[in-house]
């Protein structure tokens, strides 16, 4: 469980340069930290590091817009 | 009986107001009368594609049958147990889906402006819906395929001529449910508000810019022969007309959808307030730009990053921006000004990203305040208007058109 969380947070840190461990509910799109480029990178990283096969059409912005939601999504696919 | 383009004149709205009453009463008391919705849709489709336009009606029916079979076949292929999900089958399905549109778009370019006989009003918008459904079927996200629901989705009459482009899964979940009474009342309130705002946009503001001002300034620009300040005037007038006309139409389409209990997505969000070009595409013709983002840009980036086509992430993004916007240009039509319009926006996205990276790196040296934001909005607005001037084709008439005087 915590493994997933740590990995997602480290991926997000690489992508945005920010540490989200204390702000799990921050909206990544509203704050412009993530754009479509970053999103694709995020999906690829999730695939590489966690083996999550999430196709792009699965990716609905409103369901993946905070670190907490991403972690929940990844855990749900496990 | 008269024939109408959707939302084209007051009588169309009177028809709408009358026809929607039974459906709205049903929704208010928790029922969606699907047969009623189908009848209403049929009626409005005949208004648009019947009468003197009957041949486009035939084209629409043939097109629809073709796409329903095509998507059905692809869906069947994907739904089989142990589906191979081959890439080439997917590519073939997408190519077959866009062939009719390509024929329609290319015909005028090679037959000196003659329209293809398989064309009809709104073919490109239906094609977007078809392609998107195929892509999500490929991804395994769309699992059930109902030809009838799919046809309802494609033919949803409030949005048939020019969008907004809805998504299959979103549409189906609305279509198969009935909103709670309280939510529906809110939808009706918002819908009516949108329709009246649409009246202001389309029949007052777009009329003023497009029908009152535009011909005068166009005439003055043509009389000046070559470059003149009138071209600049035309640029702003055309941009305003384009926005109020299209945003007005979109407000009608969204408003009427709401009355039918379908939450068609919005198309415009104050685009001229944009601080940069990326911001602009998040506010202008949003359902089109999001379609391009989700079904072309992101997929292209995903493919290129996975296959490591380019070493750098930045190059990948830049190449994809240009390809993405060029395709959008080609989609508008095969003329130099549409393609240049796409190319300019592609380049603008590249420049925008480069600037934002530079700014982030030198954060301490570059000022950022209300004034610079105002300046950014000013630059973006003028750049956008300039690209609309290209898009309008007026420069083509002015410099390359047959001499009129």
Q: Is the pLDDT of residue A78 over 90?
A: no
- Give the domain range for residue A45: 2-77
Q: Give the list of residues 6+ apart from residue B139 with CB closer than 8 angstroms, or none.
A: A55, A56, A57, A58
Q: Is the pLDDT of residue A62 over 90?
A: no
Section A23-33 average pLDDT: 84
Check CB contact of B141 with chain A, cutoff 8 Å: yes
Section B122-132 average pLDDT: 96
- Enumerate the residues of chain A whose CB falls inside 8 A of the CB of residue B305: 40-41, 44
CA B250: distance to chain centroid? Answer: 9
The number of residues in chain B equals 405
User: Would you call B141 and A35 a contact, using CB atoms and an 8 Å cutoff?
Assistant: no
Taking the C-alpha atoms of residue B202 and residue B8, their distance in angstroms, rounded to an integer, is 10
Greatest alpha-carbon pair distance for chain A in Å reads 29
- Enumerate the residues of chain B whose CB falls inside 8 A of the CB of residue A35: 278
The enclosing domain of A57 has a CATH number of: 1.10.1200.10
Q: Is the pLDDT of residue B212 over 70?
A: yes
Of B305, B309, B301, B349, which Cα lies nearest the Cα of B325? B349
Tens digits of residue pLDDT in B42-82: 999 999 999 888 999 999 999 999 999 999 999 999 998 87
Q: For residue B402, give the DSSP letter.
A: P
- Enumerate the residues of chain A whose CB falls inside 8 A of the CB of residue B297: 36
pLDDT tier, B95 (very low <50, low <70, confident <90, very high otherwise): very high
Greatest alpha-carbon pair distance for chain B in Å reads 69
Nearest chain A alpha carbon to B306: A44
Taking the C-alpha atoms of residue B271 and residue B268, their distance in angstroms, rounded to an integer, is 7
Tens digits of residue pLDDT in B145-187: 999 999 999 999 999 999 899 999 999 999 999 999 999 999 9
Q: Are the C-beta atoms of residues B41 and B157 closer than 8 Å to each other?
A: yes
Tens digits of residue pLDDT in B339-383: 999 999 999 999 999 999 999 899 899 999 999 999 999 999 999
User: Would you call B298 and A35 a contact, using CB atoms and an 8 Å cutoff?
Assistant: no
Q: How many domains does chain A have?
A: 1
Taking the C-alpha atoms of residue A44 and residue A12, their distance in angstroms, rounded to an integer, is 12
Q: What angle do CA A22, A28, A30 make, to 5 degrees?
A: 120
* Burial of B335 from C-beta contacts in 10 A (0-12 / 13-18 / 19+): middle
Nearest chain B alpha carbon to A54: B139
Tell me the two tokens of residue B384. 């956008």
B332 catalytic per annotation: yes
Domain ranges in chain B? 10-175, 181-259, 271-400
How much is the ipTM here?
0.86
Section B103-108 average pLDDT: 93
Nearest chain B alpha carbon to A58: B141
Chain B nearest-CA distance from A9, in A, is 21
Q: Using only the alpha carbons of chain B, give its radius of gyration.
A: 23
Check CB contact of A44 with chain B, cutoff 8 Å: yes
User: Would you call A44 and B305 a contact, using CB atoms and an 8 Å cutoff?
Assistant: yes
């Amino acid at each position: 469980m915590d493994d997933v969380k740590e990995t997602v947070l480290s991926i997000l840190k690489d992508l945005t340069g920010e540490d989200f461990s204390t702000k799990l509910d921050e909206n990544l799109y509203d704050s412009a930290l993530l754009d479509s480029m970053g999103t694709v990178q995020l999906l690829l990283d999730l695939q590489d590091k966690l083996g999550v096969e999430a196709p792009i059409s699965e990716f609905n912005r409103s369901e993946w817009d905070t670190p907490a939601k991403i972690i929940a999504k990844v855990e749900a696919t496990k | 009986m008269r024939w109408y383009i959707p939302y084209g004149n007051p009588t169309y709205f009177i028809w709408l107001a009358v026809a929607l009453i039974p459906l709205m009463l049903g929704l208010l008391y928790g029922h969606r009368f699907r047969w009623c919705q189908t009848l209403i849709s049929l009626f409005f489709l005949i208004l648009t594609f019947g009468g003197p336009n009957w041949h486009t009606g035939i084209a629409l029916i043939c097109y629809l049958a073709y796409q329903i079979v095509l998507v059905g076949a692809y869906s069947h292929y994907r739904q089989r147990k142990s589906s191979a999900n081959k890439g080439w089958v997917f590519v073939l399905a997408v190519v077959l889906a866009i062939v009719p549109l390509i024929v329609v778009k290319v015909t005028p370019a090679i037959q000196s402006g003659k329209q293809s006989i398989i064309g009809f009003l709104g073919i490109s918008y239906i094609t977007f819906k078809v392609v998107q459904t195929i892509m999500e079927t490929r991804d395994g996200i769309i699992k059930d395929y109902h030809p009838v629901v799919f046809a309802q989705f494609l033919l949803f009459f409030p949005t048939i001529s020019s969008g907004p482009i809805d998504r299959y899964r979103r549409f189906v979940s609305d279509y198969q449910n009935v909103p709670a009474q309280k939510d529906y009342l809110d939808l009706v309130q918002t819908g009516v508000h949108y329709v009246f705002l649409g009246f202001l946009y389309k029949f007052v503001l777009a009329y003023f810019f497009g029908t009152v001002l535009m011909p005068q300034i166009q005439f003055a620009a043509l009389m000046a022969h070559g470059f003149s300040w009138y071209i600049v005037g035309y640029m702003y007038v055309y941009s305003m007309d384009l926005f109020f006309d299209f945003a007005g139409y979109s407000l009608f389409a969204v408003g009427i959808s709401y009355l039918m209990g379908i939450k068609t997505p919005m198309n415009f969000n104050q685009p001229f307030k944009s601080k940069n070009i990326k911001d602009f595409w998040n506010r202008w013709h949003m359902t089109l730009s999001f379609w391009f983002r989700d079904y072309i840009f992101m997929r292209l980036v995903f493919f290129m990053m996975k296959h490591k086509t380019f070493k750098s992430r930045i190059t990948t993004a830049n190449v994809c921006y240009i390809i993405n916007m060029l395709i959008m240009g080609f989609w508008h039509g095969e003329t130099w000004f549409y393609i240049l319009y796409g190319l300019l926006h592609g380049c603008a996205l590249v420049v925008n990203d480069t600037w934002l990276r530079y700014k982030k790196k030198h954060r301490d040296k570059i000022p950022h305040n209300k004034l610079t934001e105002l300046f950014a909005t000013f630059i973006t607005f003028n750049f956008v208007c300039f690209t609309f001037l290209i898009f309008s084709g007026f420069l083509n008439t002015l410099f390359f058109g047959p001499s009129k005087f």
